[in-house]
Structure 1
Amino acid sequence: MAAASWGAWPQADGTTEFRLWAPAARTVALLLDGETLPMRALRHGMFARRAPAAPGAAYRFLIDGEAAVPDPASRAQLGDVHGPSLVIDHGDHAWSHPAWRGRPWHEAVICELHVGCLGGFAAVTRQLPALRDAGYTAVELMPLGEFPGSRNWGYDGVLPYAPEASYGSPEELKTLVDTAHGLGMMVLLDVVYNHLGPSGNDLPRYAPGFFRTDIPTPWGPAIDYRRPRVREFCIDNALMWLRDYRFDGLRLDAVHTIHPASFLRGFADRVRSRLPADRHVHLLLENERNDARLLGAGYTAQWNDDGHNALHALLTGESEGYYADFARRPLEHVMRMLAEGFVFQGQRDLRGRRRGHPSGMLPPESFVLFLQNHDQVGNRPLGERLVTLVARERWRAAMALVALCPMIPMFFMGDEWACDTPFLYFTDYHGTLAAQVREGRRAEFAAFAGFAEPARRAALPDPNERATFDASRLRGGDAEEAARTRQWFRHLIDLRMQHLVPGLPGCRAMGCMPLGERALAARWRLGDGATWSLAFNAGDTALRYRPGRYAVRIHLEAAREDLLDDELPPASLAAWHEPP
């Protein structure tokens, strides 16, 4: 295996090439098998050393004879982020499904999940058949890069090449991906390229130029993508996940905090150019800027936070935090989202900022629509899921809207059986950092109704307590009710696959209209010439709507087939298909 810019690369002759970018270091040595081996200084701050080292060998780098640090491009850790790094040979895994080339994006029905809450890589692998049977065609894993301790959302990782050791080994992660492919499922991965976490990050010691001091992010210094070595670090990381682990796509976290923004276009071009052309590889964005210009220019789709916020405001009436921008005219915002993609397409928000670009020219599959995800649940003070905030019928109607909208649907783990387990913010920090995270979390909710009093905020779950993590692990409720909900959810996905998915390529919105104060109707022209219509009633009054003379109503559940074709009860959704 040829050496790349960063990390440890096993060679065919039994040696391993070790490389580290350490421009602020005077000397770098390799600590391997009890020996201290000086590394050769190359140009532009790179150090290298080739030494006998088999896969599984533990090593560190010694900076200026003082600080022993793990490899920032470690492919695996022996223990936690502060322990030694391990040499990994990614070429020795025996794949059971080497011919897998992925699935087209319009077939995606995504389940976002947290590997730790489900018990680790091996436990998720065992649960894949049940997720497939629920109707999911893809799972999206929250970030896996090594973080301090054993409990974290993953967005504060510090060794982004190394799968979190508390979840399992690299081999177990490859088995997870391989098993999913055997079931016909894609596996997507969240990656964080906008910052590194606050604990266990040694790069400032020997490579301070990795970061920008002039541009902060909400989580720490921005990464400096003006530097070629830093760009290589990110691009090689993406290629590792897509090539060595065979993930089917990546979701880039909070790219609005990546600078310069031009890096994003180069990233997509570089990554795609170095992968086989016959693979379906999907690059997704989380982007507060709503930059529609990136979609179709190397990126497959964007998480539609606007869609979530508008739907949540319509369903719950909440107006605090980021819901304030959507609470005044939520139905209007939902209609704009269904017809055009983004809600904010250059308008000013309540802070006076212009946000977004026109998106009506994009196909619906450029947007990932959801009722909740890790952020929208976990960033609530008590981590409540939507199913606990609204009446069950209203929740079901909204679930049906997401499942049968031409946008790509995404659900959070357990949604398929109406899981009501909270998902809280959890970490595994200690000492001063633990106190800072705890108090910062409480201060965040000081302006929220019900948490203005210090005593109420003090009662919020402590992110660092083991009990906070344990409370976030999925728990089953009534088994019979969960089974009925699973069956109903699978029926919705079957309807999507039968009536909607075949016509999604080439689909275009035909507009959206209000049916009442909390109800709407939307229509799309499918790529096969058929018309797809949805009528969504989030209100408390029955309505009537018939989309077309020849439209055939799609019954969402057999128990309601006696409804008139144009009847829209309170808290319901109806779907119609009109052939070309």
Structure 2
Amino acid sequence: MSSFRFKNRLGAELIAPDRTRFTLWAPSCERVFVEVEDLPPIAMRRHADGTFVAEAPCGAGARYLYRVRDNVTVPDPASRFQPDGVHGRSEILDPDFYDWKTPDWKGRPWEETIIYETHLGLEGNYEGMKARLQELADLGITTVQFMPVNSFSGHWNWGYDGVLVYAPTPAYGRPEALKDLIDHAHSLGLMVFLDVVYNHFGPDGNYLLEYAKGFFDPRYDTPWGDGIDFHNPIVADFFIDNALYWLMEYRFDGLRIDAAWAITDRQWFYKLRSRIHKTVEKGRHVHLILENENNDAGLLRDGYSGQWSEDWHHTLTVMLSGEDKGFFLPFHHETTGLLKRVLTEGLAWQGEFFPPRQKTRGSPSSDLPPTKFVTFLQNHDQIGNRPLGERLITLSDPDAFKAAYALLLLCPMTPMLFLGEEWGSKTPFYFFSDFHGAIGEKVRRGREEQFAEYCNLTDPDILATLPSPTDPKTFRISRPDRAERDTPEGQTWLARTKELLALRHSKITPHLKGAYSAGADILGEKAVIASWTLEDGSLLTIAVNLGTDTVSVPEPENIFYETSPKRASQTLPPGTLVAALGRAF
């Protein structure tokens, strides 16, 4: 039997089939009891650092909670499973129960990464996602990335409102079903990444202030409340252990760290990277991705695999749709120059003043390989945070979008597609959460404030027509319509995706390690030509025109893909792309 277990410092750990050790950090308490169903309360022994420990004669399947005050009981913050939700009892699990079918899986090198971001609830939970994996593997996807699975309040949620970061939500199934899903993905050659949220907790079900006020530091204000005190070693290790738990016990191949800019101790990222390097088995590929508004290139030099490139997205969105509000406004200035910079250096902002934040943003990145930047035209944030949840494909000229799509999948940066994008889905994707009462109303008001800040949308009559995030229908209508996939247009998009990914796998991926920019030039408004030297010394060159005027371009040799085969020689019409491999243009 092949099983994997990561021994957490906190939580319930089996020390024998019928005996469990419980550990809780509760520095705000003088007394704590663990209450296991069918057993009398057990007083826990307090250590000097505020940690409470006790053992009980119980095994896997037993449910428990902690009594931190006479009238207050709480679930385990390191619970491995919450069968009855975030307010219920925690369940003791035996990690050795699952027998892995692919125990020797080592993952894949970063250069082979082609990410497909998805939401497990919209995929039909663990079982529905499992049924989809072969389809994605056949398409050419190498990596499936799940939006957060940590336990959240209610039955549907994006996952970023989680409160129990060790416990996979019961909304998608039991933990063993998640392991089976990952196991099956590995059998198909697919890596699986997980989006983790370490910068804040959701508004419902977070009991930490009841027994561990030191978990937070009011000096660090975030959009979600007081910042988490990453300078406290116990708090820092709580999240480092969580990362290792997902990587070692669940065998995820990588983690995407949400809103890394909101984690207050930059040194924590180095500690995390070091612990993972020391813990993961030799020869296994494990990848760490940052969502980092700070454009911190230093972390990418220190071993982080990649960063979500919002600069790429915002530049192309402005070119394709004319978006001019909120964070997109700065990208209206010299947009073509920004695209040139993104293609050659990865980041558009490298220390310059960034008006939306009223401060400088970023650091120099030109020395980094292009694979360090995860690029996308659509993702959960950039679609779901629009008032009407429109996908970029519906806001763009069709030919220009096709050219941008080819640029995404053929340039040496690390591409990512979002749920349904492979068939050109036009189904809106909304923000949704199963909150009610005062919290639900607060979420609704928060969305309206966000729309006012980033979209200049304040008209109460229009706001009243938008789908409510707490309406069950909003969740249901965010599921991509599979009927679109079966239409002639959907099948054409699928064929396009498969062709582009096949070209990437055969011509680009084998030579990506060590690739670097060979420069770029502006051909005209919204038109750029860029080249990269690959590991084998060949030159990949892509010319793209997202504008409305035909531009001149030296006729390339060794073309392997173009969106308009009938174009005239030495021209690049509006909404077209040409890719060549060999000599420079």
TM over 0.5: yes
> 2:169 matched to which residue of 1?
164
Structure 2 residue matching 1:187: 3-state secondary structure = strand
Aligned counterparts of 2:570 and 2:582: Cα–Cα separation in 1: 14
Contact (CA 8 Å) 2:567, 2:573: kept in 1 or not?
no
- Given that residues 3 and 17 in structure 1 are in contact (C-alpha distance below 8 angstroms), is that contact kept between their aligned partners in structure 2? no
TM-fit CA distance, 1:497: 0.9
Q: Deviations 1:352-379 (Å, cap 9, x if unpaired)?
A: 4111000000000111011111100011
Comparing 473-482 with 196-205, greater Cα deviation is found at 473-482
Contact 1:142-1:154 within 8 A present in 2 as well: yes
Q: Which residue of 1 aligns with 2:11?
A: 7
User: What residue number does 1:487 align with?
Assistant: 495
Does the 8 Å contact 1:491/1:556 carry over to 2?
Answer: no
Identify if the C-alpha distance between structure 1 residues 456 and 562 changes in structure 2 by more than 3 Å, giving closer, same or farther: closer
Residue 574, structure 1, aligned to residue 578, structure 2: yes
Output the amino acid matched with 1:30: V
How many Å separate the matches in 2 of 1:220 and 1:278?
Answer: 40
- Equivalent positions of 1:305-454 (< 5 A) are 305-351=310-356, 352-446=358-452, 451-454=457-460
Residue range with higher mean Cα deviation, 10-19 or 69-78: 10-19
2:501 and 2:6 mapped to 1: Cα distance?
45
User: Per the alignment, in what secondary structure is the counterpart of residue 70 of structure 2?
Assistant: coil
Residue deviations 1:185-229 (CA, integer Å, cap 9, x gap) = 100000011111111000100001001111111112211111111
1:27 to 18, 26, 31: 31
- The whole-number CA distance in structure 1 between the counterparts of 2:543 and 2:7 is 57
Question: Which residue pairs with 1:102 in the alignment?
Answer: 107
Superposition map of 1:91-130 within 5 A: 91-130=96-135
Partner SS state of residue 348, structure 1: strand
1:134 aligns with 2:139: yes
**Equivalent residue for 2:505, pick from 494, 497, 510:** 497
Q: Which amino acid counterpart does residue 138 of structure 1 have in structure 2? A: T
Q: Does 1:49 align with 2:68?
A: no
Alpha carbons 2:17, 2:59 under 8 Å: kept: no
Provide the rounded CA distance (Å) in 1 between the counterparts of 2:270 and 2:206.
27
Contact 2:352 2:361 in 1 (8 A): yes
Give the Cα–Cα distance (whole angstroms) in 2 for the partners of residues 217 and 421 of structure 1. Answer: 32
Residue 457 of structure 1, CA deviation: 1.4
C-alpha offsets along residues 399-432 of structure 1, whole Å, 9 cap, x if unaligned? Answer: 1000001000001111100011111111111111
Counterpart amino acid of residue 503 in structure 1: H
1:212/1:222 contact within 8 Å kept: yes
Q: Aligned AA for 2:572?
A: L
Say which SS state the counterpart of residue 56 (structure 2) adopts. Answer: strand
Cα distance in 2 for partners of 1:51, 1:282 equals 38
Per the alignment, residue 545 of structure 2 pairs with 537
Residues 468-479 of structure 1 correspond to what in structure 2 (within 5 A)? 468-476=474-482, 477=484, 479=487
The question of whether the paired residues in 1 share the 8 Å contact of 2:82 and 2:91 is answered with yes
Give the 3-state SS of the residue equivalent to 2:120 in structure 1.
coil
Q: Which amino acid aligns with 2:88?
A: G
1:506 equivalent to 2:514? Answer: yes
Q: Can you list the C-alpha shifts for 1:327-376, whole angstroms capped at 9, x where unaligned?
A: 12211111100010100000111254111000000000111011111100
- Are residues 1:193 and 2:201 paired? no
CA distance in 2, matches of 1:289, 1:449: 22
Q: Which residue does the alignment assign to 1:72?
A: 77
Deviations 1:86-143 (A, max 9, x none): 1111122111111100000000111000111111111101111111122110011001
The one-letter amino acid of 2:436's match is: H
State the Cα distance separating 1:443 from its structure 2 match. 2.3
What are the superposed Cα offsets for residues 154-196 of structure 1, whole Å, 9 maximum, x if unpaired?
1110000000101111111001111111111100000011111
TM-score by length of 2: 0.96
Q: How many angstroms does 1:262 deviate by?
A: 1.5
TM-superposed deviation, 1:561: 4.4
Gaps of 5+ in 1: none
What is the identity, as a one-letter code, of the residue corresponding to 2:406?
A
Paired residues, what number?
Answer: 576
Q: What's the offset of the Cα at 1:309?
A: 0.7
CA deviations on 1:2-33 (whole Å, 9 max, x unpaired) are 96421011123531111100011121111112
Q: TM-score, normalised by structure 1?
A: 0.97
The percentage of counterpart residues that share the same residue type is: 43
Alpha-carbon shift at residue 463 of structure 1 (Å): 0.6
2:269 paired residue number: 264
Task: Assess if the C-alpha contact under 8 Å between 1:27 and 1:65 holds in 2.
Answer: no
1:236 aligned counterpart, secondary structure: helix
**2:238 aligns to what?**
233
- State the secondary structure of the residue aligned to 2:171: helix
Q: C-alpha displacement at 1:565, in angstroms?
A: 5.7
Deviation at 1:545, TM superposition (A): 2.0
DSSP-derived class of the 1:446 partner: helix
2:249 paired residue number: 244
Determine helix, strand or coil for the equivalent of 1:166. Answer: coil
Mean alpha-carbon deviation: is it higher for 202-211 or for 10-19? Answer: 10-19
Please, which moves more after superposition, 216-225 or 449-458?
Answer: 449-458
Q: Distance in 1 between matches of 2:355 and 2:27?
A: 44
Residue segments in structure 2 that go unaligned for 5+ positions in a row:
none
Partner AA of 1:349 in structure 2:
F
Q: Deviations over 1:48-89 (max 9, x none)?
A: 111122211111111123211100000001221001101111
Q: Structure 1 residue aligned with 2:150, among 136, 140, 145?
A: 145
Secondary structure of 2:221 counterpart: strand
Q: 1:141 to 1:516 in 2, by over 3 A?
A: same
Q: Secondary structure at the match of 1:214?
A: strand
